[in-house]
Amino acid sequence: MESSYTVADFYEQQFNSRSYLEMYYLNHLSQPAIDELMYFVLEKLVKTFSSGPKFRTLLEIGCGPCLHLSLCASEHVEEIVLSDFLSNNRQEIELWLKNDPGAFDWSPYTKAVCELEGNREKWAEREKKLRDSVKQVVKCDVHQSNPLDPVELEPVDCMTTSYCLEVACKDKEAYRSAFSNVTSLLKPGGVLIMIGVLNESFYTVSDQKFPCLSLDQAFLEQTLTEVGYEIEQLEIALNPNKSVDTVSDFDAIFFLVARKK
């Protein structure tokens, strides 16, 4: 690619939100190989939100077309703002929030979250709770000093992000800068909950490969310290299918909780 052709350009032209959902989330809770990592994420999210304080405000950076993270948070947060760079991803979210019949079905994930919390029967109530809690779905560009520009948001109590910065940044310098930019949206003393991949160079949606910035644990921890966080929890789950995985090449996923100094 020419230097003037950015990661953002590539995603705008090539990323199909519905194909991504169907490839990585449709029926995956019933597939043991994928189920293992997905349940790792859901269990950590449920435990973190259930055992911690309730938050007034939560911002998700780079939600993509996905709602499983905010489903876990919704019982423990008053107001949620979802953000993503791609208009197609935001449209997928809006379809679900409006209860559109063409929206992706997140009920298997809602039921799984409620079951982890001990009350599977409350899943419909949880979905209503999430729809009521989401106050805005806005564009986010992590490379801007105010990633939500032109929206001005008061710093939030909790910020979440999942598989975002490593695909939005072409090199480690850009990653550090983006991390600093999004950190400005979190209150001092606020909580960061982050999910990501280690040592991944690409992932695939349908037949299209998308580049990913390969990160190791040492760089991740160093970056958090540099931008002003104290890590409180970092857990890693190895990719059980690394040797046969053809759609991505990640070594592991991580679940991280940190507090802004």
pLDDT in tens, 66-85: 999 999 999 999 999 999 99
Position 28 confidence tier, pLDDT thresholds 50, 70, 90: low
List the structure tokens of 170: 């072409």
Residue 218 CB neighbours (<10 A): 8
Q: What percent of the chain has pLDDT over 70?
A: 95
The pTM of the full predicted model, rounded to 2 decimals, is 0.93
The alpha carbon of 166 is separated from its chain's Cα centroid by a whole number of angstroms, namely 11
> At residue 146, does pLDDT exceed 70?
yes
Position 33 confidence tier, pLDDT thresholds 50, 70, 90: very low
Position 6 confidence tier, pLDDT thresholds 50, 70, 90: confident
Spell out the residues 6+ positions from residue 120 whose beta carbon is closer than 8 angstroms to its own. Answer: 111, 114
> At residue 17, does pLDDT exceed 90?
yes
> At residue 22, does pLDDT exceed 90?
yes
What residues are paired with 84 via a beta bridge? Answer: 139
The pLDDT mean for the chain works out to: 93
Rounded Cα–Cα distance for residues 142 and 149 (Å): 10
Residue 63: burial class (beta carbons within 10 Å; 0-12, 13-18, 19+): buried
pLDDT for the residue numbered 30: 58
No. of H helices and E strands in the chain?
A: 10, 9
CATH topology of domain 7-260: Rossmann fold (3.40.50)
Q: Kindly state the average pLDDT of the residues 17-40.
A: 79
Q: Kindly state the average pLDDT of the residues 176-202.
A: 97
3-class SS string, 195-250: EEEECCCEEEECCEEEECCCCCHHHHHHHHHHCCEEEEEEEEEECCCCCCCCCECC
- Give the three-class secondary structure for 170: coil
pLDDT for the residue numbered 29: 66
Position 3 confidence tier, pLDDT thresholds 50, 70, 90: very low
Q: Kindly state the average pLDDT of the residues 98-111.
A: 95
